[in-house]
Amino acid sequence: MKPQSLLGALALLAVAAVPALAQEPVKLGFITKFPVPFFATMENAAKDYAKRNPGVEIIYGQGTSATDIEGQIAQIESMVTRGVQGIALTPVDPTVSTALDKAVAAGIKVVLMDNNIPDWNGRTALATTNNFAAGKIAGEYLKTILKAGDTFGILEGVPGVPALDDRVKGMLEGLNGLDVKIVGKGATNCTEELGISVAEDLLTKNPDLKAIYAACGPPAAGAARAIKNAGIANDKIVLVGFDFCCGEEEALKSGIEDASVAQFPTKMAELGVDALVKSIRGEKVESLIDSGAALVTPENMAKFK
């Protein structure tokens, strides 16, 4: 073979080898906060991704509650021990960053999903809803219904968690210009039980309460139960939730809940896992990946099932 022909053949072999290297198997950890339908949907999306991509192996982990910090740290440490090349997780609290630092130091890529860890620079990417913009959707909807002077209560998620705080800040921005009176708010840890409790307290102290906003799905469902238990007619109070999950569909169907802001957990998980896989294989990924949000009402809710 002539030297030129040999060089050409070697070049072709080198080019042909690139796709094979790019598709080497990868092993990932996928960690969600706690057992609610939203995170189950994310996990199922990750499983579907792995089925469509045979070279991707995913190990799953989950905490027990929205405040299970130690449980999530243990999950992160377990993933490192089991030799994952990347971790995709929905961080429960900024303090898990210490465990993530150790993972990054071990050469593991980290993609955050659902919410960020402010001032932590170890992540490869963040796949999330723009929670401030999504909260603003809720506020703008409320602005079309409420009038100046109306009383208003807020069911917070977990104060201090940026994504959940942004849902409240965004909602208030959406209400900007309408002089409503916030008569109370309370943390719910994104649970239905605390949603019931905080809503009952608001309704007891403010018999003429005009609206409630819940920053998570379970508390929205809890507020719906509190309103029903109090015997308040559907047209006497406005209830707006966030997540469109965990009993909100039933509350919307019954007319107790007026609207919710839907995230797209399937898309969020798929985008997060895909970014993690690409980064491990040396491909460039965007540092911020917005999975979107939309307003759900009884009229359009069938599209979001």
Q: Are strands 293-296 and 259-263 parallel, antiparallel or unpaired?
A: antiparallel
User: Which helix H or strand E contains 41, and what residues bound it?
Assistant: helix 37-52
| Predicted local distance difference test score (pLDDT) of residue 162 | 84
Distances (CA, A) of 97 to 18, 19, 25, 94, 204: 35, 34, 27, 6, 40
DSSP letters along 75-97, please?
HHHHHHHTT-SEEEE--S-GGGH
How many Å apart are CA 140 and CA 111, to the nearest integer? 31
- List Cβ neighbours of 226 (8 Å cut-off, separation of 6 or more): 195, 196, 199, 200, 203
- CA–CA gap between residue 243 and residue 229 (Å, rounded): 23
Contact between residue 116 and residue 128 where contact means Cβ atoms under 8 Å apart: yes
Residue with tokens 């072999």: 13
pLDDT of residue 13: 36
DSSP state of 147: -
Topology classification of domain 131-262? Rossmann fold (3.40.50)
Question: Tens-of-pLDDT digits for all 305 residues of the chain?
Answer: 433 333 334 333 333 333 333 478 999 999 999 998 889 999 999 999 999 999 999 999 999 988 899 999 999 999 999 999 999 999 998 999 999 999 999 999 999 999 899 889 999 999 999 999 999 999 999 999 999 999 999 999 999 888 899 999 999 999 999 999 999 999 999 999 999 999 999 999 999 999 999 999 999 999 999 999 999 999 999 999 999 988 999 999 999 999 999 999 999 999 999 999 999 999 999 999 999 999 999 999 998 86
* Predicted local confidence at residue 67, as pLDDT: 87
Alpha-carbon dihedral 37, 250, 244, 174, rounded to 10 degrees: -150
Rounded CA-CA distance 304/268 in Å is 15
How many CB atoms are closer than 10 A to CB 295?
A: 17
Q: Where are the domains of the chain?
A: 26-129+264-291, 131-262
pLDDT at 232: 96
Amino acid 53 reads N
Distances (CA, A) of 75 to 96, 131, 134, 180: 10, 25, 29, 43
CATH architecture, domain defined by 26-129+264-291:
3-Layer(aba) Sandwich (3.40)
pLDDT of residue 16: 38
Q: State pTM to two decimals.
A: 0.75
CA distances from 287 to 95, 127, 279 (A): 21, 8, 11
Domains 26-129+264-291 and 131-262 share a fold: yes
Give the rounded distance of the alpha carbon of 296 from its chain centre.
Answer: 16
